[in-house]
Each structure stands twice: as C-alpha cells, then as structure tokens.
Structure 1
Amino acid sequence: MFSRIAAVLSLLAVAAVVNGEGCFSGGQSGDCSSIIGSFCNNLGGNMVSGETRTQCFNVNGFKCDMRIINEGGSRVPDVNACFEAMDDEASGCSTGGIKTINDFQFTLDPNTGSC
C-alpha cells in the first residue's frame, strides 16, 4: 500500500515539474499582491491560441513581472481565473510561480530592479 502511494506521489511530482506549474524554487522574493487587480482587470480583449501578454509593475524596490498565455482556442481572457491564479501565487509562493486555469497560464514573478 505504501509503495503505491509513494509511486503516485512520485508521478505527481514529475508531472508538476514537466508542466512547469507551482512555485519558483528561487529568485527574488516579494509581495506582488497589491498590483494583481491592475493586471487582471486589464487583460484586454480576445486572445488567439498561443498568445502571450505581459506587464511589469514596480513595487517597493523590486519589479513584478506578470504574464498570461492562452493555451486554448481564441477567446477572451478569464478575469476570475486570473485573480484566482495570481492570488494563489502571491499568497503561497514568495518567489512567484505559475498556475494554469481553464487553459490560461498565469505567471507572477517578483524580480530585482525596475521595469
């Protein structure tokens, strides 16, 4: 029984690495939560499949790089998914991270320097 659980956990860990999901393992730490609304409320209109949109914000002596990638078909970005993903990354990942919801991949990444 234990070996089955260990095998499943190992597969999940590999899947997380392959998909690039989760918290970044290093880099600048910083709280980007104050600008999530500025990013998510201004995602713009329709995104074609594979389209990437990025924004950079200066926050308390560092910058927050934020990105959305449409991994699905042509459609309007999901604002609620943006808030959910970015809030999860800001509260659970001190150095930022990546989360995909409904085929939109969201990245929040605090970095040194300014935009």
Structure 2
Amino acid sequence: MFRQPSYHEMMFVALGLTIITPVLGQIAVNISSCFSTGVAASGCSSFIDTFCGSGAVILPVSLSDSFSLCFNAPAGFKCDFTARNALGTATNPAAVNCEDTLSAIVEECPMGGEGSVQPGGSFTFALDPNEGSCGPDVVTEGS
C-alpha cells in the first residue's frame, strides 16, 4: 500500500524540481577559438541584437553555408559577424543562440572569436572586429 506523502515531503520534492529543472535544461556556450589580433570586440556589442535578429528574415542557410553582416563602429573600425550552418539541414539561426554566443565571445575573447551553443546548436557564430571600414552596403551605428 502507498501512504499519502506529507505536505513537507511534497514541498521538498517540488522545490527540488524547481531548482534542478532549469539546470538540466540549460545550454552552454562553447567558445571554440579566440582571435589574437584586431581591435576590441567590446566595441561591437551594440550590433549583436541587430545581427542576430536579421537571421530570422533571411532565406534558410544551407549546410556549410553562412550569412554575414559588417557594421561600421563609430570608433572607426568594422565589426564582421558570421553565422555558419555547421550541422543539419537548411535552417535559420536561432536568435537566442546567436545572442548568447556572441555575448560570451565579447566577454571572453578581447579581440573576438567564434563559438556555438551546446548541445544542439547547429550554427557557429563569429565576431571579428578589425581596423578599416565595411563596403558601401553596411549598417552604421546611428543610421
């Protein structure tokens, strides 16, 4: 026969599930490499949301293909962003995975780098800030 669990036993189980479930469901950003030359990646952080949001409005990216955007930073350098489909079928990059990965790159790689979300992230994201400016079809902060 089963006995009815006490209120305290049920609360202990509920609290335990509340704490454990988010931890088990979390994804982690894997930085695969940091660049050693270029300019400070922190100057590109204001463009992350724009780049990642643009991934939803493009055609699906085929396996091994990529899409990229270049932004001119007000400090006189450029920010090259790339999303490459490394696994799976043609799809669009998930904005949250893009934002999480690129934000981690800014925090952990002073000169930019590349990484992906694990497990299950099919895209590798890169931020490569460099001297100079982008071509004529670019977005400049403030425009």
Q: Secondary structure at the match of 2:84?
A: strand
TM-score of the aligned structures, taking structure 1 as reference length: 0.76
TM-score of the aligned structures, taking structure 2 as reference length: 0.62
Partner of 2:130: 111
Q: Distance in 2 between matches of 1:45 and 1:84?
A: 22
1:50 touches 1:70 (CA, 8 Å); kept in 2? yes
Cα RMSD, aligned residues only? 1.5
Partner of 1:71: 86
1:45 touches 1:77 (CA, 8 Å); kept in 2? no
What amino acid does structure 1 have at the position aligned with 2:108?
G
Q: Which runs of 5+ in 2 are unaligned?
A: 1-30, 135-143
Q: Distance in 1 between matches of 2:132 and 2:92?
A: 32
Partner of 2:70: 56
Structure label with greater radius of gyration: 2
What amino acid does structure 2 have at the position aligned with 1:27?
G
After the TM superposition, which parts of structure 1 deviate over 6 Å for at least 4 consecutive aligned residues?
none
Q: Secondary structure at the match of 2:114?
A: strand
Q: Which runs of 5+ in 1 are unaligned?
A: 1-19
